[in-house]
Structure 1
């Protein structure tokens, strides 16, 4: 008789489009080995106390947390950010850059490669997400204008030819050279994502056919309907809705998008085309007060209050401090989305977007045993990565 490493009992197991009661989940060799109502032996037993057992959360847009940012360019930053987000249910994520000079970006990529084998207690790295520097100046948001520039083959080819860790790149598709850039991303198997853009619908349609199949923080820093030379044009937001297979990500912190827009995106796109992302900066998991967006030495000073980062004059948001469990809770409580769909948007859909669904994103035999346990009030008690408990709330 097979002896399993871990048995998780007394759980409401969330599988895609359903919740299973009365079954136990068994882990062997870091993977889900069995889901069965028949009892089997295991070396360790974890009783959830009747709480939900969900696939681990997958966050495909993370800048920082725990007081660190990936642009700090330290190993400590990579490892501490991974640990922080694991505490809130993230089991895999894409470290994300900001617009910066070329040398700083190359250093960030080097540190990813150094940090990955050392990351034993935090969320898995899914590959690097480069956000910028090929953006519209008009839609730059909190991106540093000193570093915004046009797509440069001499730069992006060097980056992509040197390293296979870049899995996603966000850019504005209307810029000179952006379509050629999208084609190169597609040839390299890198996800092209539309971001910080003043494009019109026709620009997006062309971009979509040339590699830009995803939209970064939908609604934020992108054009909607505009009037140009007396004529009205559909923008990026409308294109996101009209192109059926375009995937989008939303910062469901309840601040960047109000409940009405969360409901609208869900109603039109559906759970299988929406990824929930934190877009978290260094202040995620930290108390309110002053912080810095980007690098500590020359980043943008911000204020953390009302559950979001703001510019010092409070005229605009300057980053998210959300965590993954917050996003799931908000979609259920604010957007009135069924729990199973909220979980799909935090697990299966981002896994498919990043072409990782074969190994993660749902509870199924043979997949990685990346799991989270939370209660009806979305209090997260346990995070498991590869069958190993990396976070447990030990409160009685």
Structure 2
């Protein structure tokens, strides 16, 4: 079997940046050493001093390239996978919005078709689908944000069973933990290997404490659509944000697009939570990788009209954000511009989400035996090459269907 051999670059290892060669055999990393002798048939890639880092893992993404996963077509899934691979994402978790049952049926049907097509096509199809993130419909109406309030519901064991019966690919479910039945559902999901996440919530700190005891371990898009400290008469009541900082068992994700969070807050989250408990996500909608202008959040048939301008998606009245148009390479650059060390920013885009999602034994680090999901970055942190499962992905844009 011919190897893919990377030479002449700096590799991000779990111990830090090292001048190192890396060999890939098939779909896995086979060797790391300062000088690896080429073998007959090797495909040698001279990094010319560039960085070789673990492929990015986006655990919260709705679409890109003009496609939304809620469009419910295999083409939509594959389009988004290709677009995000061009920006260094090697594994993504298609995220479903609060929607009508017919849209959810189409989402899960398209997931299976797209995943088979992606596996058949290999790296040419772009980022692999790691699993599904279901965001809603069990959200607090007061913190619904751009989610459609017409489909919000209260969680129950019966609803959880129906959800998991749809697919065995569900990895994350986001709920407002203060809703009746949410904590019971979290315990039920956690026992079945699904990560219960808190989000779109008006919970106070004590409600979050109960939620953590029930199995919740993660907060989605930290600061966005969640409660913070409030006053009742003369007393201050801590909210979700304060609880996220306080509880070490809770990991958080941040939309590092430079709009959802100012750089000072990105730096604060990193300072308090550290790179092991803070993941970077895009929360990207269909406008990622597309020209700015009118767009749609959710399915083209039943989604909400939004406006992409100034590098972010907004509600038409500009009263709030409606997802981002960020990509993971942009998220890394934004984190670095906030003063977060490059090594930490890269780990928060790969190793940390992998640990949160329970895949750290396969992805998120450059080590022998790990999946050969790699990204080459130049000195300005632009993506020069994406490798998915040991195969180089073609970064040149292709016409999207």
Q: Which residue of 2 aligns with 1:43?
A: 42
Conservation of the 8 A alpha-carbon contact between 2:221 and 2:253: yes
Q: Which moved more, 1:219-228 or 1:147-156?
A: 147-156
How far the C-alpha of 1:4 sits from its partner, in A, is 4.5
| CA–CA separation in structure 2 for the residues paired with 1:16 and 1:340 | 10
Which stretch shifts more, 143-152 or 33-42? 33-42
Q: Secondary structure at the match of 2:126?
A: coil
| Alpha carbons 2:78, 2:126 under 8 Å: kept | yes
Q: Does 1:180 align with 2:184?
A: yes
TM-score, normalised relative to structure 2: 0.94
Report the counterpart of residue 13 of structure 1 in structure 2. 11
Q: Distance in 2 between matches of 1:240 and 1:77?
A: 34
Give the alignment of 1:317-328 within 5 angstroms.
Answer: 317-328=321-332
Q: Which residue of 2 aligns with 1:258?
A: 262
Correspondences of 1:236-275 after superposition (within 5 Å):
236-275=240-279
Q: Measured at CA, do residues 146 and 229 of structure 1 come closer, stay the same or move farther in structure 2, by a change above 3 Å?
A: farther
Report deviation, 1:104: 2.2
Picking from 147, 158, 164, the partner of 1:143 is 147
Q: Give the corresponding residue for 1:391.
A: 394
Give the TM-score of the pair, scaled to structure 1.
0.96
**1:31: which partner in 2?**
28
Q: 1:154 Cα shift? A: 2.6
Query: Is residue 101 of structure 1 aligned with residue 100 of structure 2?
Result: yes
- Work out whether 1:374 is the aligned partner of 2:371: no
SS at match of 1:11: strand
How far apart are residue 17 of structure 1 and its match? Answer: 4.3
- Does 2:352 correspond to 1:356? no
Alignment partner of 1:68 is 2:67: yes
Contiguous gaps of at least 5 residues in structure 1: none
- Residue segments in structure 2 that go unaligned for 5+ positions in a row: none
Conservation of the 8 A alpha-carbon contact between 2:73 and 2:106: no
For 1:110 and 1:180, locate their aligned partners in 2 and report how far apart those are by CA, in whole Å: 28
The partner residue of 1:130 within 126, 131, 134 is 134
Secondary structure in structure 2 of the residue aligned to 1:276: strand
CA-CA distance at 1:370 after TM superposition? 0.3
Question: Aligned equivalents of 2:70 and 2:274: distance in 1?
Answer: 33
CA distance in 2, matches of 1:227, 1:391: 54
3-state SS in 2 of match to 1:176: coil
Query: CA offset at residue 102 of structure 1?
Result: 2.6
Q: Which residue does the alignment assign to 2:316?
A: 312
Distance 1:310 1:137 in 2: 19
Match of 2:217, SS state, is strand
2:291 corresponds in structure 1 to 287
Q: Using the alignment, how far apart are the partners of 2:276 and 2:2 within structure 1?
A: 33
- Partner Cα separation in structure 2 for residue 132 and residue 367 of structure 1: 33
**1:214-240: per-residue Cα shift (whole Å, max 9, x none)?**
000000000000124654211000000
- Pairing 1:183-202 to 2, within 5 Å after superposition: 183-202=187-206
CA displacement, residues 218-271 of structure 1 (integer Å, 9 cap, x when unaligned): 000000001246542110000000001210000011100001100100000000
How far, CA to CA, are the matches of 2:8 and 2:2 in structure 1? 17
How big is each residue's C-alpha offset from its partner over 1:259-301, in whole Å with a ceiling of 9 and x where there is no partner? 1100100000000001100000000000111111111122111
Is the contact made by 1:251 and 1:277 (CA closer than 8 Å) also made in structure 2?
Answer: yes
Shift of the 107–152 alpha-carbon distance from structure 1 to 2, 3 Å rule, reads farther
Could you say what the CA RMSD is over the residues aligned between the two structures, in angstroms? 1.4
